[in-house]
A and B are shown apart, each in its own frame.
Chain A
Amino acid sequence: MPPSLTICPRFATPASQPSNCESAINTVGLKFPGYARLREIKFYLNGKETTVEVPPAYTLLETLRYVLRLTGTKEGCGRGDCGECTVLLDGVPVHACLTLMSQVEGRSVVTVEGIERDHRLIRAFVEEGAVQCGHCTPGIVVAANHLLKEVPRPTEEVVREALRGNLCRCTGYVKIVRAVLKAAGD
């Protein structure tokens, strides 16, 4: 059995060592002998057909960040509580950290990178100052963008309900909600 490795040793790495967890995963996680057979998995990422070779129980989040190097999707809690890794799977918001690659095969995934940079929602976040540390922002943008597609003119209550799975520890949500409502009004 291969040793059990912490997936992203951000806080565990001594200062003297490079803390590049991406390369750690690529060398240890993917190439380590004894791991499950790599599987070729084809899916649609932000509209483009994409093929990766990963262990089938690798999470979508690990694949996005460490294999495809799309680091817009963040890992917060890694257990479905914080919503930082929110992506759309076949058009609905899910946690990328709780989605295994075997569940992704043949399906469509949209990450924050799939939303245009000058999208009205992103503009509204900037204009309203709805970002502080920024770690929760990609997940919230993905979830809010989905909401505005489903409900173009949501009330404040609906916005808060749709974002109840996205934690922000900086802002107290006031400006985030204001930004989403502003984007809806534009």
Chain B
Amino acid sequence: MQHLADVEVHLARSLREALELLSTGKRFKVLAGGTDLIVQLRTGAMPKTDLLDISRVDELRYIRFDDGVLRIGALTTFMEIYESDLVRRYAPVLSEAAFTAGSFQIMNKGTIGGNIVNASPAADSLPPLYVLDAELVIVGPRGERVVGIRDFYRGYKRLDLREDELVAEVRIRPPGDGYIGHFFKHGLRRGDAISVVNGAVLIDVSRDGVVGDARIALGAVAPTVVRSPNAERVLIGSRLTKEVMWRAAEAVLKDISPIDDIRGSADYRRELSVNYVFMTLYRIAREAGGDA
């Protein structure tokens, strides 16, 4: 563990100030909550660089619902997301993920924008954003652009984000009342752990027992979070019977490519993925009053 006494910190108090500093051509690491960045810098996992502290840019801290769109400012913390009635109502699967993202200490400091840009394949906010087909509003010197969450990640920690741009907002179009979704997470400790495998399942159960739409995303099993089109195909148009749910759960294996690491082996992750997807589908089927 090393100290950061030799690291220069530039403080931005507004979005404009932050963008101006970013456009000077100086290289910065952007500091939001810092719950992962500071660990990486202090352990030496990331080389020391100047920091741009945007943690005070309060204009990026909000949760709003207007024109049918849920808008979450990038600097909104996991605690603020968890405590938000708007998120619980329009994106409950994200609410669940926010609560398990870390201890209360982490939830009070970690931000959704930081989680997105940090781009860990195990980031807990990402599977919900993948099943919700969230969009990111990115601001830079050339103005604003909107990117779908799946297009934002181009590979392991490779982002569609230029050095002079910031992620400013997450936009979610609520999937509608006919959907039930849940987040799942396997950590090595319940209270505060990085996911060995996590994921989100969102199912349209409004069509009298037949699955209208199915969206499944898994994290920590590939270089980026992935959706599982194979599992989704098994489910759409079928009834949520145990047999169908097992077939769907096993189909996720075709869409994931886990590796061995300190938190678990690839085999363990495959086993967890199948079982957690089944358990989450089973839970959804029961809540929908199906025949499972």
Instruction: Give chain A's interface residues, CB within 8 Å of chain B.
Output: 1-2, 4-7, 25, 29-30, 32, 34-37, 55-59, 62, 78-81, 83, 86, 89, 92-95, 97-100, 102-103, 105, 143, 162, 164-166
Residues of A within 8 A of B43 (CB): 79
B30-60 residues at the A interface, CB under 8 angstroms = 31, 34-35, 38-39, 42-44, 51, 53, 55-56
Q: Per a CB cutoff under 8 Å, which of A5, A37, A80, A89 touches B2?
A: A5
Give the distance in Å from the alpha carbon of A164 to the alpha carbon of B106 in the complex. 11
B3 touches A62 (CB 8 A): yes
Assembled-state Cα–Cα distance A5/B31 (Å):
23
Task: Assess whether B109 is in contact with A98, with CB atoms less than 8 Å apart.
Answer: yes
Q: List 11 A-B contacts (CB under 8 A).
A: A29-B5, A34-B6, A55-B5, A57-B7, A79-B43, A83-B105, A97-B38, A98-B109, A102-B31, A103-B31, A165-B105
Closest 3 pairs between A and B when the two form their complex, measured CB to CB = A165-B103, A164-B191, A57-B4
Q: B39–A36 contact, CB under 8 A?
A: no
Contact B34 A99 (CB under 8 A): yes
Query: CA A58 – CA B2 in complex, angstroms?
Result: 11
- Min Cβ gap B63→A in Å is 17
Q: Are B42 and A4 in contact (CB under 8 A)?
A: no
Contact of B34 among A2, A93, A100 (CB under 8 A): A100
Check B146 for interface membership: any CB of A closer than 8 A.
Answer: no
Contact A100 B31 (CB under 8 A): yes
**B192 A98 Cβ-Cβ under 8 A:** no
**B20 within 8 A of partner (CB):** no
Which of A36, A98, A162 contacts B38 (CB under 8 A)? A98
Instruction: Check B2–A6 contact: CB distance below 8 A.
Output: yes
A62–B1 alpha-carbon span in the complex (Å): 13
CB–CB A58/B5 < 8 A:
yes
Q: How far is the CA of A105 from the CA of B12 in the complex (A)?
A: 12
Q: Which B residues are within 8 Å of any A CB, using their own CB?
A: 1-9, 11, 31, 34-35, 38-39, 42-44, 51, 53, 55-56, 79, 102-106, 108-109, 190-192
Residue of A nearest to B190 (CB): A164
In the complex, what residue of chain A is closest to B32 when comparing beta carbons? A103
Question: Pick the contact of A103 from B3, B4, B42, B55 — CB < 8 Å?
Answer: B55
Contact: B3 with A5, CB < 8 Å?
A: yes
| Residues of the B chain whose Cβ atoms lie less than 8 Å from the Cβ of A105 | 11
Q: Which residues from A are CB-within-8-Å of B102?
A: 80, 165
CB closest chain-A residue, reference B39: A79
How far apart sit A78 and B40, CA to CA, in the bound complex (Å)?
A: 11
A143 touching B55 by the CB < 8 A rule?
Answer: no
Q: How many Å from the CB of A53 to the closest CB on chain B?
A: 12
**Distance of A100 Cα from B39 Cα, bound (Å):** 11
- B51 contacts across to A, CB distance below 8 A: 57, 100, 102
Q: Tell me the complex Cα distance, A166–B190, Å.
A: 12
The residue on A at minimum CB distance from B108 is A92
Q: Are A98 and B6 in contact (CB under 8 A)?
A: no
Contact of B8 among A56, A78, A99 (CB under 8 A): A56
Interface residue from B4, B8, B192 paired with A81 (Cβ < 8 Å): B192
How far apart sit A123 and B9, CA to CA, in the bound complex (Å)?
42
Measured CB to CB, the closest approach of chain A to B28, in angstroms, equals 12
Chain A residues, Cβ within 8 Å of B79: 92
A57-B51, A100-B31, A102-B53 known; A94+B6 contact, CB < 8 A:
no
Q: Bound complex: CA of A78 vs CA of B1, how far in Å? A: 8
Contact check, A95 vs B109: say whether CB atoms are below 8 A apart: yes
Question: In this complex, what residue of B is CB-closest to A82?
Answer: B192
Cα–Cα, bound, A7→B41 (Å): 13
Min CB gap A107→B, angstroms: 9
